[in-house]
Each structure stands twice: as structure tokens, then as C-alpha cells.
A and B are shown apart, each in its own frame.
Chain A
């Protein structure tokens, strides 16, 4: 029973982590809380749904469609809505981000309806297997594995490639990066692309787990994922994963052992956020934001 819940918590936490990475990277380079990030995850879920249910694609192809589509949407949102405001006061950027978020939610609501649509989960993901004495669906095992794999890729990109070096440099000083002959705007767009692609994977996992998609699904998840990024230490990819796992575990474990608190499960992430701001604002990994990045 306990082990079962641990696996569930790990699976939920991985989804939060995937979304939190996007928040932490964008915050790292732009100091912007990208409110639209949760909605990009929703778009990812919807694209997966359209790929399978409307276009009749196999699951894998639909996932790729969702990743590419969301990455393009993320980059477009940066190009259209955020880039013209680079030199504006930060509050303008935040207001625009809220506008983009609200636009995505309501546009999907108007054109595709607010009623949740059943997500066609492929049979092999729903199959229940015996794994080390635990019975669980394949998806619960696959989610953490894919998350770990994607995390490894992200860390490799950040620390072993030239693009990663540019991203890390950008987090220190945009002006100097431009002086070094790097097109800062292109790198920022790349960061939005990476973050949105991960959010799309998170959205697909979410849609598989709760087999449905709806326009408002990204709101609360986005909020919790941001809380996760702060809890782990904003600006740090490892911290985002750690924070996501902590919040995922807490939700699952508390509800498993105190079912009467079920109605409050959406409040835990928020309480964590307040506590971490009170006692250790730099997050668990303790990254001093003025000294190191990612």
C-alpha cells in the first residue's frame, strides 16, 4: 500500500517537475513568471488529443505533434507578446503574460468547449503489470523514466553545449551576452521552445493519467508547478525537479492517509510556497540567485 502510493507520488511529482523546469528556465533568463506556461501544457494535451482522435495518428506521432506544436506556440508567444517589452518595466511583461494565459484558456474554451474530453489512451499504457510486487498501470512507471531521461538531456544541453553556455550566460547579464556577439533574443526564444516542449510532455502525461483534456486544466497545475520551482530553488533545473517531486509526494501521501483533507489538496503547494518564502526564500537547493544559475 505504502509503496503503491510512493509510485503514484513519484509519477505525479514527475509531471509537476516537467512543467516546473519551464518556469525556472524562463524565470532564470527573463525574471518573468510566465503565467501562460500552464496553458501551454494544456495546449500540449489538446494537440495530443487532436492528433489521436481527429487525425488518427498513432500515440507516438501525436506526442511529437504536441511537442513541436507547443514549442512553436511558446516561441511565438515570446516573439509576439514578450519580445517587444524587453526594455519595458517588468510589470508590463507580467500583465502581458496574464493576458496570454487568459487568451489561451478562453480561446480554447470558446472554440472547443469547456466540457472535458476523454483522452484516447493507448491500450498498452493502461495495461496493469506486476512490478516488484506492486500492481500498477504501465504509465505510472513510464512517466518517471521519461522524466529522468528528459532531465538528463536538459542538463546535458545546459552544461555541455554552446547553447547551454549562452543560456547560462544570459541568466547573468543580457547586455554583456549581446556584446559577446550572441543574439540574446534567439537564445531566449530557444529557452521558451525548450520549456514549452517539456510542458507538452507534461500535458500528455496529465491527459493520459486523468484520461481527459479541458481548457482550464493548466491553471492549477501551472500554479503548483511554479510553487514547486520556488520550493526547489528558482533558477535551478535540479531544484525544479526536486520541488515537483516534493509537492507531488505530499499531495498523494496526505490524501492516501488523511482522506478527509481531500478537498484541500490543491492548497498544499501554496502552503509550501508560503513556508519556503518565510524560512528559506532561496529554496531547498539554496541557490543564491545573484551568484549562480541553473
Chain B
């Protein structure tokens, strides 16, 4: 029985990888540019949502950091990828520090450095916050997002202020975004299924009990926080190389809010749910573009209302929390559903 289950899990993993690789290859050769762009976005948001879910859903520590860490990853990658000549003429506000111009690295190094940078900052933040109680994490990370934006605007010697960095080479394609999304999902799932993952879930379910059972809750929380920061940094780098230009305004709180609604809709604590949520929210937000435009309601012409989508999003978040707190998947994974079906069949 046990060996059979193991084989089944392995078989699932292999088929997951195979289907993903096939889907990336298929969409790259068959879909038009617009669809591929949306798929790229979805892949990047899967990286972000799955890692955000690790701290919010699996460990149960409410944090609002993604926009900050994504911004860090994006800026690090942008500074490393953009060629010195391209950087030379962009800095219109003040002259950049000399080291900024000499920075240069290839794509993989840039992504990894962005992630490492974000993870290091996460470790610095987690020390004051998790030493006390998880409560403050939300407000500290919310403030952190603001600080990153303030820094991005106020240190034009590095970030080119509110003009942002342009002409970033477009390295991201579906192979990179989809491939890294796959790696992120596998790494996060492996963490969740390891002893660290069990410690994280114990912290979520009852922190006092977990402490009493000898779980090092500080370590579990810090590990979850740093891992999500790392992948958010990598995702930020991919985003920068996809958009080819970044500015501080890109990383405002709406970014985090989108991810929050993704993981809540998918089901807090479920990696499968995070992926489903990403597809639903990203697809839905393309579809809901009509809300921001003028509408014809029962013969009454309304004016364009930019921002209407966000009102709908926030109402949606409140309603999900009130009436469907489990989201689509609850805490279950795809594998749990398959197991349940087998039992039911017998």
C-alpha cells in the first residue's frame, strides 16, 4: 500500500512536469503574442502566489510584503541586465554612482542575486518581528513596501528616481517564466512536505501547542518568510525582463492586493489552490477590463470609471472571507483530491 502510494505520487510528479513542459512548448509555437503575454504574466504570478501562500497560507503569518520584495528583485535584475551603454544616457535626474554603470551579469545570475537580496532583507525583517509575535508582521511588511518605494524615488543615483529603469533586455520568455514557475512549485511543495513544512503547519494551527511540542517556531516562520522572499525576488527579476521598463509606481500596494486575492480565492494553504487562483484572477482581471470603461446600463450611459475593477476586487475579497472562507481548494492539494476519490470508489 505504502509503496504503491509512493509510486503514484512519483507518477503524478513526473506527469506534472511532462504536461507543463509540453504545454509551454505547445503554447510557444501555437498561440499569438497577446496570449503568450498573458501566459507569461500568469507564470510569473504563479511563482509569486505559490511563494506568498507559503508564508500566508501554510505558516499562517499574515504578511503584506510581495510588492516590496518583487520591487527589490526587479531593480536588482534591471541594474544587472541593462547594458552600461543603455544605462549611461537614462540617468536624467542625477549622475549615477560609477558602480551602477559597471554592474553587469547574465540572466541567471541576475535572477538569483535578486532573490538572494530579497531573502537577506527578509531575514533582517524577520528578526525583530518574529521575536515578538506574528501580529506585527502585517504592519511591518506593509510599511516595508512603502519604504522600498520611498527609497526607489529618493535614491536616483541608483534607481533613476521616478523615471525608473528602461531598455532592460527582454530575456523573459515562456521557457524561462514557465520553467521557473515549475521549479518554484516543486521546491515549495517539497518544503511543505518536509519536516520544516510540518513545523510551519503546526505554527499555523496552534503556535503555543507547537512551541510546547518542541517546534522552533521562530525558525519555521523565518524559513517560510525567507523562502517566499527569495522566489518573490526571482519573480520580480523575471517581471523586469518581461516588461523591459520598471518604475516605482509599478510596485504599489495593488500588486500585493492582487496576490492576496489570488491565494484567498484559491484556498489559503493550498499550492494547487494558488495556481488555480492565479489563473482565475489573472484571466478575470483581463475580462473585467470592461468595468473601467464607459458602460451602457439599461439605456443609461455611464462615464468611464477607472478603478472600478479594484472596488470589485476588494468587495470580492470581503465576500470570499465572509461566505466562502475555504476558497476553491481549502487546504487540499490535487493529490488529496485523487486520494479521496480512490477511497470513495472502494
Contact = CB atoms under 8 A, between A and B. Distances in A.
Interface of A: 31, 33, 35, 81, 84-85, 88-92, 94-96, 98-100, 102-103, 106-107, 109-110, 114, 219-220, 223, 226-227, 230, 263-264, 266-267, 269-270, 273-274, 277-278, 281
Contacts of A98: 64, 257, 260, 317
Interface string B193-236: 00000000000000000000000000000000000000000000
Nearest to A111: B305
Contacts of B260: 95, 98
Contact of A95 (B308, B315, B317): B317
Nearest to B64: A98
Given A91-B268, A92-B321, A103 B140 contact: no
B64 A110 contact: no
A230 B142 CA distance: 15
Contacts of B125: 274
Given A89-B60, A110-B311, A227-B143, A95 B321 contact: yes
Given A85-B322, A95-B62, A273 B140 contact: yes
Nearest to B155: A263
Given A91-B62, A227-B139, A281-B132, A99 B307 contact: no
B321 A103 contact: no
Interface in B56-70: 56, 60-62, 64
Q: Binding site of A, secondary structure by majority: helix, strand, loop or mixed?
A: helix
A223 B147 CA distance: 12
B154 A263 contact: yes
Interface in B112-141: 125, 127-129, 131-132, 135-136, 138-140
A110 B154 CA distance: 29
Interface of B: 56, 60-62, 64, 125, 127-129, 131-132, 135-136, 138-140, 142-144, 146-147, 150, 153-154, 253, 257, 260, 264, 268, 305-308, 310-311, 313-315, 317-318, 321-322, 325
22 contacts: A33-B135, A33-B138, A33-B139, A81-B322, A84-B322, A91-B60, A95-B321, A98-B64, A98-B260, A100-B318, A103-B315, A103-B318, A106-B307, A219-B253, A220-B146, A223-B142, A226-B139, A267-B147, A270-B144, A274-B125, A274-B128, A278-B128
B131 A277 contact: yes
A96 B321 contact: yes
Contacts of A35: 138, 142
Contacts of A277: 128-129, 131-132, 136, 140
Contacts of A103: 311, 314-315, 318
B317 A102 contact: yes
Nearest to B60: A91
A94 B260 CA distance: 11
A230 B136 contact: yes
Contacts of A81: 318, 321-322
Contacts of B62: 90-91, 94-95
Nearest to A277: B128
Given A94-B138, A98-B64, A270-B143, A106 B318 contact: no
Contacts of A264: 150, 154
Contact of B310 (A84, A90, A94, A106): A106
A162 B341 CA distance: 57
B139 A223 contact: yes
B296 to A, nearest CB: 18
Contacts of A109: 307, 310
A31 B56 CA distance: 18
Given A102-B314, A277-B140, 6 more contacts: A33-B138, A96-B317, A219-B253, A220-B146, A266-B146, A266-B150
Given A91-B62, A110-B305, A223 B318 contact: no
A125 B294 CA distance: 42
Contacts of A99: 314-315, 317-318, 321
A86 to B, nearest CB: 12
Nearest to A109: B307
Contacts of B127: 278
B154 to A, nearest CB: 4
Nearest to A32: B135
B322 A96 contact: yes
B71 to A, nearest CB: 15
